[in-house]
Amino acid sequence: MTFGDVNLQVDQVRGKYAGSPGGGGWPTIRVYNKATGYDGAFAGDWKDKNGLSGAMCDVFGKDETLQKYIEELGSTSLCSAADGAGCSEKEIEFIAKWKGMEGIEAQLARLQGMTGSSMKPELKKWLGQRLNILKQLAAKPKEEL
């Protein structure tokens, strides 16, 4: 996942895929991925869909709200498989089940094959969380220089 920041005082981003920078409140947050296409999706729509009231800076200034937004729209998790930081109970149970187990690569391939499937948002989120955890568990520790 990649994040970018545009200072509209310095760079007046405009054009077909820019959305409406500054429109709908500050900060203007847009997400771009395969699901949203080049036009992206405005975070204010997600805020409204989830019944969150208040200014963008107040709503997304809360760490838990921003994390939920990132995880849901990015189909990922900010959970650390190494120490459990940022993990839900469900994720911690999944880590315990797979830590040190054989077959992580096969399970990872199986779940990656499901990413294009149509599924309910909560199942898609859980798929992303499991993929994130398995990728961390499959990664080889980097040797120190």
Domain count, the chain: 1
- Please name the helix (run of DSSP H) or strand (run of DSSP E) that holds residue 45, with its range, or none: helix 43-49
Once rounded to an integer, what is the mean pLDDT over residues 87-116? 93
**pLDDT of 7 above 80:** no
With the C-alpha atoms ordered 32, 34, 38, 42, is the resulting torsion angle positive or negative?
negative
7 located within any domain: no
5 located within any domain: no
Expressed as residue numbers, the domain containing 68 is 30-138
19 located within any domain: no
What is the pLDDT, as a whole number, of residue 140? 64
83 located within any domain: yes
pTM over 0.75: no
86 located within any domain: yes
62 located within any domain: yes
16 located within any domain: no
CA distance 135 to 72: 18
143 located within any domain: no
Strand-pair partners of 30? 42
What is the pLDDT, as a whole number, of residue 24? 64
Once rounded to an integer, what is the mean pLDDT over residues 107-131? 88
- Please name the helix (run of DSSP H) or strand (run of DSSP E) that holds residue 124, with its range, or none: helix 121-138
Which residue do the tokens 């990656």 mark?
A: 112
Encode pLDDT of 39-80 as tens digits. 788 888 889 988 999 988 899 899 889 888 888 887 777 899
